[in-house]
Amino acid sequence: MSIQILLKGQAYRNFIETVHSPFSRITYRNSLQLYMQFRQVQDCDQLLAEDPKIIQSQLIDYVISLREENKLNATTINTRLAAVKKFYDTNDIELKWKKIKSYVGKGRKNKRDRPYTHLEITKMLVKADQRGRVAILLMCSSGIRVGAIP
């Protein structure tokens, strides 16, 4: 059964108005929705109704669920927790985040990323148009990620 999640109300406004980057807003909103689905609540205000110790216990269960059932990497779990932490912090709910984050576990590297060789960069530059060459050289010299270029 799917739960209809409502992202409105004072608690949500307190949270979302402190997130300034448009990309962060999307990530934080989605992370909060996933947490609300886990908690099976429809309204953000319901997340604040429990005692902080119960909230903390439910957050630990959420982290364990993300780690064990969903098999998510520690980086992804930390990103999701950052949104939930911001939600509770902006709504004046104090939790022991050090304890909660201790359940995340260590990150594991799934990818074997490596920098492009000079030969690979040269091949890309030969085939690219002027705009593509600018983008390639920018990424090579700065280490910027592909998704960061509009």
Q: Are residues 63 and 125 in the same domain?
A: no
Q: Are residues 97 and 123 in the same domain?
A: no
How many Cβ atoms sit within 10 Å of the Cβ of residue 32? 22
Q: Are residues 18 and 57 in the same domain?
A: yes
Residue 109 lies in a domain: no
Q: Are residues 143 and 89 in the same domain?
A: no
Domain carrying residue 124 = 118-148
Q: Are residues 86 and 143 in the same domain?
A: no
Q: Are residues 93 and 122 in the same domain?
A: no
Would the CA dihedral through 121, 122, 123, 129 be positive or negative? positive
Residue 97 lies in a domain: yes
Residue 2 lies in a domain: no
Q: Which residue has the tokens 């050090």?
A: 98
Of 35, 11, 33, the residue nearest 88 (C-alpha): 11
Residue 97 token pair: 């985040």
Q: Are residues 131 and 71 in the same domain?
A: no
**pLDDT, one tens digit for every residue, the chain (150 residues):** 456 677 888 999 999 999 999 999 999 999 999 999 999 988 888 899 999 999 999 999 999 999 999 888 899 999 999 999 999 999 999 999 999 999 998 766 656 777 889 999 999 999 999 999 998 898 888 877 766 766
Q: Which residue has the tokens 């902080």?
A: 52
Q: Is the pTM of this model over 0.75?
A: no
Residue 83 lies in a domain: yes
Q: Which residue has the tokens 């359940």?
A: 103
Residue 108 lies in a domain: no
Residue 93 lies in a domain: yes
Residue 19 lies in a domain: yes
The CATH number of residue 28's host domain is: 1.10.150
57: left (phi over 0), alpha (psi -120 to 50) or beta: alpha
Number of folded domains in the chain? 2
Residue 142 lies in a domain: yes
